[in-house]
Amino acid sequence: MLHQTLGKAWSCSAHASHEIRLLLKDRVVRHNEPRSLKKVKRSSQPPCFTISHKPPMSSALWKSAKIEIIDPDQAVDDEYKTVRFREAHPTRCCLGQQSMNIRSIHGLKVVGDLCTVFRCYNGFGFGLDDQGVLYETYQAEIKPACCAENLISLQELLLAHSGMKSFTPLTEEQRYRLSIILTSSFIQLHSTPGLNKHWNQHTVFFSSSSVDDQLVIDLRHPFIAESYGSSPCRSTASIDAKELADDSTNLLMLAKILLQIKFHGRPSSISNIERASNPTTFDRVRESQLLNQWVFQERENLSFAHYNVIQFCIASPNSIDADLWDLKFRQIVLDRVVVPLVNELSHWQGVM
C-alpha cells in the first residue's frame, strides 16, 4: 500500500527523469526476551521513514521529506518471539470512516502530487493513514545521510585494500552490521517501484567526509541511488520470466557481496573473482562456479553462519522455489540468511 500511495502521488510522467535515493536499514524487527523481570514499555512513537528527491541534471541541493504513519495498528502478539514477515490483513469496510475521522480531527490537507510539494519546500512532513491517504502535516528541517553530496560506492569500498592510500579495514562488527543491513533490505525491497531489479555494488552508496586527511565513511547508513524515468510497459509473460531470473541473479550477487565484505582488505581473493567475472554480462553458471571456488578456498576462514548463509545464496538459484515474490520463500531466506548473521553478531558481542 505504501508503494502504491507514493507511486500515485509522485506523478513524474510529465517531468524529466529523476534520481532516487533510498536509505537501507536493518529492517528486521526482533522480539527479544527482556534481560530483567522489569517490564519494558514499547515505543509510543509511530513508525516513519524519509524520502529524498533531486532532478539528476539540477545543481540544486537535495530535498527531503519525512513520512509518518498515522494511528498505526499497535496490536502485537507478545507470545510470538521469532523474527518474521507479516502478511497484510484484508482491509475492513469500517476503516474508510476511520480515515475520514482522522482527516476531520487533524484538519490535514490531502497531498495529490509530491513533485509540486518538493519544488516548494524542503524538510516537509507527511502523514500516511491506514487507507493509503497522504496528508500534509508539518514542516521540519531534516537532513538524511542519503542527501549528502560526497559519496563512495560499495564497489569502491569493497575493492579497497591495504596497499591503497588512506585504507581503513572494516572492523568485525562493521562487517556483520553491513551484511545484516544489506541482506534484510535486499529481501524486503526486492519489488520497490522505481528501483532497478538487479542489486549490485555499483548502486549502493555511503556518505563520506575527510577528517585530518583521513576518509571517514558513514557505514551505518548505506543507500541505493538510481536515476530513472518513464519506461515502456512489458508484457505479463516477460515480466514473470524476468522476475525469476532477477531473483536468481540477485541471490548470487548477494553471496558475492557477503564474501567481499567478509574478506574486505584482502586483494588476492577479491581481485581473482573480479578478473574472472565479465562486468558487462552476468553468467549464472560461471558465477556460481567462481563463488563455490572462493568458498572452498576460504572455508577455514569462514564462520559457521557465514558459510551456511553464502552456500544457501549460491544454491537457491537452482531451486524452482526461488521466488522472492512468494512470502514463504522470503521467510525461508530471512531464517536462513539474516537470522544466522544476527545471532552470530549477538554471540560475538557477548563473547567480547
**Looking at the structure, do residues 189 and 291 belong to the same domain, yes or no?**
yes
In this model, does residue 116 exceed pLDDT 80?
A: no
Q: Can you say whether residue 20 is alpha, beta or left, with left for phi > 0 and alpha for psi between -120 and 50 degrees? A: beta
Predicted pLDDT of residue 17: 58
Residues 131 and 246 placed together within one structural domain of the fold: no
pLDDT the model gives residue 124: 61
pLDDT band at 300; cut points 50, 70, 90: very high
Q: Are residues 126 and 189 in the same domain?
A: no
Between CA 152 and CA 336 the distance in angstroms is 30
Residue 262 resides in a domain: yes
Give the percent of the chain with pLDDT over 70: 46
What pLDDT does 304 receive? 92
- Is 36 within a domain? no
DSSP 165: T
In a domain, 317, yes or no: yes
Q: How many CB atoms lie within 10 A of CB 282?
A: 16
Average pLDDT over residues 325-343: 89
Does the pLDDT of residue 134 top 80, yes or no? Answer: no
* pLDDT, average across residues 78-92: 41
pLDDT at 222 over 60: yes
Listed residues 87, 119, 147: the one ending a domain: 147
Residue 258, pLDDT > 90, answer yes
Instruction: Say if CB 29 and CB 81 are below 8 A apart.
Output: no
Is residue 56 a part of any domain in this protein?
yes
Among 116-120, 132-136, 224-228, 246-250, whose mean pLDDT is lowest? Answer: 116-120
Number of domains in the chain: 2
325-351 mean pLDDT: 86
Do residue 111 and residue 259 come from a single domain? no
Residue of 277 and 20 predicted with greater confidence: 20
Compute the distance between CA of residue 79 and CA of residue 69 in angstroms, rounded to an integer.
25
- In 37-196, the DSSP E strands lie at 48-54, 63-69, 124-128, 134-139, 151-153
Mean pLDDT computed over every residue of the chain: 69
- Is there a single domain that holds both residue 183 and residue 239? yes
Please report whether residue 207 resides in a domain: no
Q: With beta carbons less than 8 A apart as the criterion, state whether 81 and 330 touch.
A: no
pLDDT score, position 63: 67
Confidence tier at 55 by pLDDT (50, 70, 90): low
Q: 263 lies in a domain?
A: yes
CB 40 within 8 A of CB 34: yes
pLDDT score recorded for residue 144:
65
Dig out the grid coordinates for 145 from the structure.
Answer: 545521510
What is the per-residue pLDDT for 217?
86
**Stretch among 15-24, 145-154, 318-327 having the lowest mean pLDDT:** 15-24
Are residues 128 and 182 both part of a single domain?
Answer: no
Q: In whole angstroms, how far apart are CA 184 and each of 27, 137, 155, 291? A: 6, 30, 19, 21
Q: Are residues 109 and 63 in the same domain?
A: yes
> Is 90 exceeded by the pLDDT of residue 221?
no
Average pLDDT of span 29-34: 50
Specify the DSSP class assigned to residue 42: P
pTM over 0.75: no
Q: Which domain range does residue 139 map to?
A: 1-25+47-71+95-147
Residue 104 lies in a domain: yes
Q: Are residues 184 and 329 in the same domain?
A: yes
pLDDT at residue 51 above 90? no
Q: How confident is the model at residue 162 (pLDDT cuts 50, 70, 90)?
A: low
Residues 62 and 182 in one domain: no
Mean pLDDT of 37-58: 56
In the predicted model, what is the mean pLDDT of residues 152-175? 79
Top mean pLDDT of 62-76, 89-103, 207-221 is at 207-221
Is the model's pLDDT at 138 over the cut of 80?
Answer: no
Domain membership flag for residue 241: yes
Q: How confident is the model at residue 79 (pLDDT cuts 50, 70, 90)?
A: very low
Same domain, 138 and 173: no
Q: Indicate if 275 and 336 belong to the same structural domain.
A: yes
Q: 282: pLDDT confidence band, cut at 50, 70 and 90? A: low
pLDDT of residue 259: 92
Compute how many other C-beta atoms are within 10 angstroms of the C-beta atom of residue 343. Answer: 12
- Please tell me whether residues 110 and 242 are part of one structural domain: no
